[in-house]
Amino acid sequence: MSTPVAPSSAASMHEVSDRTSELVELVLRYARGRILSSDTPLDKPIAPLDLALRAGRSIDEHGIGAERALALFEDVLAPACITTDHPQYLSFIPTAPTKASVAFDLVVSASALYGGSWLEGAGAVHAENEVLSWLAAEFGLPASAGGVFVQGGTLGNLSALVAAREHARAVATRSGAELPSRWKVVCSAEAHSSIASAARVMDVDVVAVEPGDDGVLRGDAVRAALEEHAASVFAVVATAGSTNFGIVDDLASIAAVTDEFDVWLHVDGAYGLAGMLSPMARHRFAGVERADSVIVDPHKWLFAPFDACALIYRDPEAGRRAHTQHAEYLDTLTETSEWSPSDYAAHLTRRARGLPLWFSLATHGAAAYRDAVTASIRLAHDIAREIDRRDGFRLVREPQLSVVVFEREGWSKADYAEWSARLLDEQHAFVTPSSHAGRPNTRFAIINPLTTYEHLTAILDTMA
């Protein structure tokens, strides 16, 4: 027979005591120092065996205490993680959260908020919906548009495509049309990998359409795919800022074709759709206002912390019909007309992950965001001109947004890999190799307003 745990012992982790007060102060001091640091190192990963030896064992029956645990994180674990908001982190798509958004992320956790339903989190949902309405207006969508913040672009794209298929199925059923043996989604051959991932999850086929030589998918290519695959296509996905090049598809011509064929248009703007905030790039997104759904990731170019993707539907009811979960214990939520974010994507439990962006926007105003996005685009164009001027360098494509892809003439894949590893090892920068059409290259993904022209030219100098 087991010995009952004393109530005081069972509650010790949760009650307010001298011990927990000291723990909280310890963590907040560290967080404050990290948020306000102006010289946080870039850091780098280390080999698994080395990390295991340095970290040792931290979890046992009795605990090692908050001071030792935090010291382990600060001295061993954190330095083995690359600092993604470092101004010389220029790979993949970086993050550059504002100090306001990072600080408020602490508040979200400390406030014990649940963001799945209006019943439990009305205030948080209201604030998130204000951000979604602001974004929808920026994108030209109607005032009735709405949606939800989800974990990332992959889940946002999946949720939008699930809603699109449910819509197509309902339309076909109402009209008495025969359902296709296999549903299909049309997208660019250069679409983000999450589209193929969503298709695998949904067990549907991808019709990959070759874009033009400039990487832009246009309406005539989409038309050919729709004519060939007819009623089996439930959605067309256009890209508003590809990850590799920052290319924006010809949204207006694609929208004209999807209107004609009455097919759902989804715009994957995870990285690039935030570019609409800048007058330098807004014209590139003409046609997005005709989309049935869009996504944009605030943890990319809208300066929020990980993780947040804004999924917005032209008609939110389409999302709600596809995603509302039904169970006896959920009836109190689903039998009302209140806005519950869990009804609009493939999730139920959710963090109020839109609140850090809300706080930062409310604090600084939209104009500050427009200036920051514009600065990234201007810097991308400036460094592209510098690359063009340098002997031995080749600009692969003119940048549309803030991604600059270039080659060092004569370099092999191994040359790029060795150079990239050296940059990180020396804590100079994080710039990874890439490729296009079988040719190796590298790229600057410029997001952080603290990244400077001098940072970038110094990196180019290391390739001499």
Domain extents for the chain?
A: 15-81, 113-363, 366-461
Q: How many residues does the chain have?
A: 464
> What was the pLDDT predicted at 9?
78
Structure tokens at 333: 């939520």
Q: What is 113-363's CATH number?
A: 3.40.640.10
CB 425 within 8 A of CB 43: no
Number of Cβ atoms within 10 Å of the Cβ of 76 = 16
Query: Sorting pLDDT into bands at 50, 70 and 90, what band is 310?
Result: very high
Give the whole-angstrom CA distance, residue 352 versus residue 365.
20
What is the rounded average pLDDT for all residues in the chain? 96
CB 337 within 8 A of CB 343: no
β-pair type (393-395, 403-408): antiparallel
Q: What is the mean pLDDT of residues 329-348?
A: 86
Q: Which candidate, 168, 178, 89, 104, places its Cα nearest to that of 360?
A: 104
Q: Is the pLDDT of residue 141 over 90?
A: yes
User: What percent of the chain is predicted at pLDDT more than 90?
Assistant: 95
366-461 has the same fold as 113-363: no
Q: Taking the model in full, what pTM does it have?
A: 0.96
> What was the pLDDT predicted at 289?
98
Q: Is the pLDDT of residue 8 over 70?
A: no
Which amino acid makes up residue 3?
A: T
Q: Is the pLDDT of residue 128 over 50?
A: yes
CATH class of the domain whose range is 366-461: alpha beta
Which amino acid makes up residue 269?
A: G
Query: Sorting pLDDT into bands at 50, 70 and 90, what band is 5?
Result: very low
pLDDT in tens, 278-296: 999 999 999 999 999 999 9
